[in-house]
Structure 1
């Protein structure tokens, strides 16, 4: 170890700025939390690869970052495309030290009125897409003894009616990350799980128009109803990434909810059951709806890529 004054200063600088000069990959980075996190990590001195479906929006986000960055148009459900994205990241920026599985979409509506293909798409993006992301970048994380962050949600704490695909996918993503953590720790890779609550992204717009979800939010304690900006959430996440935290909470007080998780399903069921009983038509009359601009962009791109059904001669 270099114990000279210069060596000590270098070690002090590395400890003070643990992310500086390293490479981060963020999926779902075109907008919302992903875009805000890419900006925050870039501001912390990282080189950032932004992955997402919306090329023009990705380019705009990448061009506005203070540090070096690249953007890769990529569908996280496409393993071949992700493998190519991983090769490009390593070729242009170097091996990733931080990989954030953030890409996600949500659908609101009754299960029996949500198209099966749309319900499956939520699972494919939020759960399988996270696994695909880990698979593509694990070789790089092994080389760098890096950090993989799975973006989960308080939807994993207590599932809400009208959000069955989203809640199932986030609970599954949490379980996947917990399993992965035990497998890769011997290789020096740390796996973190981020639990996000109400966050001010376009996915949240229109939530209060859903009577069940609006009731659920209205019946939460006042601090729990607060909507936090994507920039604030990104700042909390960046702090956790710098510490290689096992569990990250946005807002931080959510950590005190972990011991209470066994109570949440019953509390959510009681609150929403009353709304469904009192307003059966308003609560369950609409079909499943994709939430947010990003979610709609993904769904439209997915449908456009599917082969058209054959027509009768």
Structure 2
């Protein structure tokens, strides 16, 4: 059943840029009231103004339980309720385990997995009160383990399993839980990945259409539809259902498909060594937050 989103209070993490910001604007256009959470106060405020309809912004690091819990309490105080949580905050880096920057590699898991857990923990009491909906943004990376993306694949597989577990825990409380699996969406994070030759080789060497970059607008429409319908699984693009249905064989097949890409990626990195840090402006914001800038 599709629900009218008019007046629904939606809390989105990672809302300063990219998919989170675009989804906020899409949901605002459908009448929702937006609570935007992220690391960049100026960008968040600009997005809140773009959303209109009384949208507000909170600055919080999702890996900081006290900060994200305070943000959730602030949203409840400002709007009176939280009807929908979209756990979208995420970062990425490229590089095989041998060549990746250890700090950035580990940070991907901290933000994407532990950040989602802490976000859900903060918002869940409010979702129980409203019998609301929690949408976890995972990735096609949860379906196919890819070379040069070990930490990202691990983090997205982790949030998928986590959200499935939470669904079982809160179903009797009237809370719905869904998982979204976007592929390569044309955001700053994905474009930032292409700054690293090692990652570019691994991504663009994938078979078509797995190497294709998809536009933001249809992706956020699919996510907004998922919120309205409280959909359990959302694939974008829709052909990912094929990978979902055949994921049992993926770990056995992918080494033969992408193993050669890992060798090429490491060779490219050796020829032009560069610290493989977090990608895009969002990654830079996370780096700045941890360094205290």
Q: Same fold by TM-score, threshold 0.5 exceeded? A: yes
Q: TM-score, normalised by structure 2?
A: 0.92
Alpha carbon RMSD of aligned pairs, Å? 2.0
> What are the superposed Cα offsets for residues 180-206 of structure 1, whole Å, 9 maximum, x if unpaired?
110010101111000010100011115
- Name the counterpart of 2:27: 41
1:84 CA displacement: 1.2
| Counterpart position of 2:283 | 295
The offset of 1:279, in angstroms, is 6.4
Instruction: Summarize deviations over 1:142-166 as a string: whole Å, max 9, x none.
Output: 0111000110001111222221111
* Structure 2 runs not aligned, ≥5 long: none
Instruction: Look up the SS of the partner of 1:289 in the other structure.
Output: coil
Task: Say whether the 8 Å CA contact 1:150–1:193 is kept in structure 2.
Answer: yes
Q: SS of the residue aligned with 1:148?
A: strand
Displacement of 1:253 after TM fit? 2.4
Answering whether residue 57 of structure 2 is matched by residue 80 of structure 1, we say: no
Supply the distance in 2 between the matched residues of 1:276 and 1:164 (Cα, whole angstroms).
11
Contact 2:199–2:265 under 8 Å retained in 1: no
Distance of 1:52 and 1:212 partners within structure 2: 26
Task: Give the direction of change, closer, same or farther, for the CA distance of 1:113–1:238 in structure 2 (3 Å limit).
Answer: same
Counterpart secondary structure, 1:235: helix
Specify whether residues 268 and 121 from structure 1 end up closer, same or farther in structure 2 by C-alpha distance, changes over 3 A only.
same
Q: Give the equivalent residue in structure 2 for 1:177.
A: 163
Matched, 1:168 2:154: yes
- Which of 210, 214, 218 is the aligned partner of 2:201? 214
Q: Determine helix, strand or coil for the equivalent of 2:283.
A: helix
Alignment of 1:266-277 (within 5 A): 266-277=252-263
Q: Give the direction of change, closer, same or farther, for the CA distance of 1:219–1:136 in structure 2 (3 Å limit).
A: closer
Compare 287-296 and 24-33 and name the one that shifted more: 287-296
CA 194–142 in structure 1, closer or farther in 2 if over 3 Å, else same: same
C-alpha contact (below 8 Å) 1:113/1:286 kept by paired residues:
no
Shift of 1:214: 3.3
How many correspondences in the alignment? 290
